[in-house]
Every structure is written in C-alpha cells, then in structure tokens.
Amino acid sequence: MTNVPGRIRTAFADAGVTGWLHAVDIDSGAEIDAGADQPVVTASVHKLCVLVALHQEAAAGRLDLTEQAECLPADRTAGPTGLGAMLDPARMSLRDIAYLMTAVSDNAAADHLLERVGLDTVNRTTARLGLPRTHATHTFRRLLATIKEDAGHGGRQALADPHVIARLRALDPARTNRSTPRDMTHLLGAIWRDEACTPEHGAAIRRLLSLQVWPHRMASGFPFDDVHVAGKTGSLPTVRNETGVIEYPDGGRYAVAVFTRAANTAVTLPTADAVIGTTARLAVDALRGL
C-alpha cells in the first residue's frame, strides 16, 4: 500500500484538482491515507450528519419519522432538486423528506429537517460519535446566502472569476460546514456497524444512502453489477465531494471519503467528477490486496 497515496495524488493532479482521501476497511481497520486529516468544506456531504441526528432523535423517542410536515413554497430553500424545485405546497412525512435530502440532495428538505432537529443537535451528535473536526456552522439556506453575498453584484456569473471564488466564505473550512476525510469514514463505519444508531435506524440510513441517484462520482469507479455503492455527494463552486461505502459480494466493505477542489471554475468538469471514482477504486483495490 506504500505507493497508493502517491498514485492517488497523481490522479488528482491529472484531473486538475487538489484532493484529499481516506479509505478504511470497515471490519479490519486497514486504511489508506491521502490527506485524511485535512480540514475540508463538506457542502452537501453534511446532510449525512443531519440524517444521523434525525434518526438518533427518532430512536430516543423525541420525534416520529412518520410525522407529517407541511412544506410551503415560501419557506423553501432554493435548489434544483426535490422540494427546492417544486412550485406547490407539499405534505409528507419526515422520513420521506429525509429521502429527498439524501437521494437528490434537496436543500429545502435538509433545512426543513434542520428546523425540526436543530444545528446544535447535529453538532452534539457528531461530537458524541467521536468526530472532533466535524461542525455544522449554518443551515443550507445560510450557506447559499453567503455565496450570494460574497459574489456581489455580479451574481452567478461572477463565480467564474477566480478572484471571487477566493473570497467565498462557503469555500473556507474555518467559516462554513466542515469535516475531514477521516471523520467522515469514521461516521460511515459507525453507521455500517450499527454503532451510530440502533440496528433498525442504521438500516434505514443505509437504505437512503443506497438510493442516491448520482452515478458519476464514486460509483463510476465500481462498474460492476455485484458491487454496491451507497453514498452522499456534495458540490459548491470548484468543490466536488463524495463519501460512501463500497460493498463486495465476498463481504468486504470499505468506507471512502473524497474531497476535491478544482482550479477551473467551470460548473461542468467531467474529469473532476470521475477522479472521485478513480481514486476511490485505487484505495479500495489496495485495501483488498489487488
């Protein structure tokens, strides 16, 4: 495994990104470290922390996941998916809102759950689980608001300017929702070993992560019918992340967290997306002794 971190860093550089990765065999503890303790911007990966907090609250009897919630258009955080893109009032259960937050990374759904659970509860949850460098600073509505404020009068078009990108608080781990690759694989391992929640709630979380619709990042590195990938992506200007668990038919299961920053400000960068799958595969193959 000694040369694998170097191969991973080369793959990141070839894709035009700076990247940080941690991968761990969930059962043996063997690991690959390519910047595992680097503070990183989580973006929508932090919705995984919201999901775990929600299920811990349900397990403790402080909320009912079948509770019906009114989701009104005027109260919704903007976003291109799920409730954020809908035009009419909607009524659904908390667990179905959690599905939208996880499967299609719905910002409005995430903030609705945060209103119910609270940022402080999310931070207490990650602290109890032993994630010392993971912290939720603000809601997703506030996160998007900081981008708008920092971009100034140029609006969305200004985000093509590297000088504007450099001043975005949303891209500074010290001023936004943050974690490290190691913290995120620790969390995934706890979920898969039923240490983060009761087995019933752990199974529910794993189900939702397996329903994520985006195949172009981590899953792209594992194009096999009998290999299962479950995870959560995160995106911001120049940021492309994913944390997930890869499960093989022989019982092997591996938690991988990949966080990247691109030099290019373009919204669409297929090579930057694909390198998440490439580096995850390099790490998992090494852990499997291939």
> Quick one: pLDDT at residue 155?
81
Report the percent of the chain where pLDDT is more than 90: 96
Q: Is the pLDDT of residue 44 over 70?
A: yes
Smallest Cα–Cα separation from 276: which of 236, 239, 247?
239
> Quick one: pLDDT at residue 193?
98
> Quick one: pLDDT at residue 2?
65
Amino acid at 89: P
Q: Is the pLDDT of residue 62 over 80?
A: yes
Determine the 3-state secondary structure of 123 from DSSP.
Answer: helix
For the segment 183-188, the average pLDDT, to the nearest whole number, is 98
In whole angstroms, what is the distance from residue 222 CA to residue 86 CA?
A: 33
Cα–Cα distances in Å, from 2 out to 22, 56, 186, 200, 278? 14, 38, 22, 39, 18
Q: Is the pLDDT of residue 79 over 90?
A: no
Residue ranges and CATH numbers for the domains of the chain are 4-287 (3.40.710.10)
pLDDT tens for 104-158 read 999 999 999 999 999 999 999 999 999 999 999 999 999 999 999 999 988 888 9
What pTM, to 2 d.p., does this model score? Answer: 0.96
Cα–Cα distances in Å, from 13 out to 6, 7, 31, 234, 237? 11, 10, 22, 20, 18
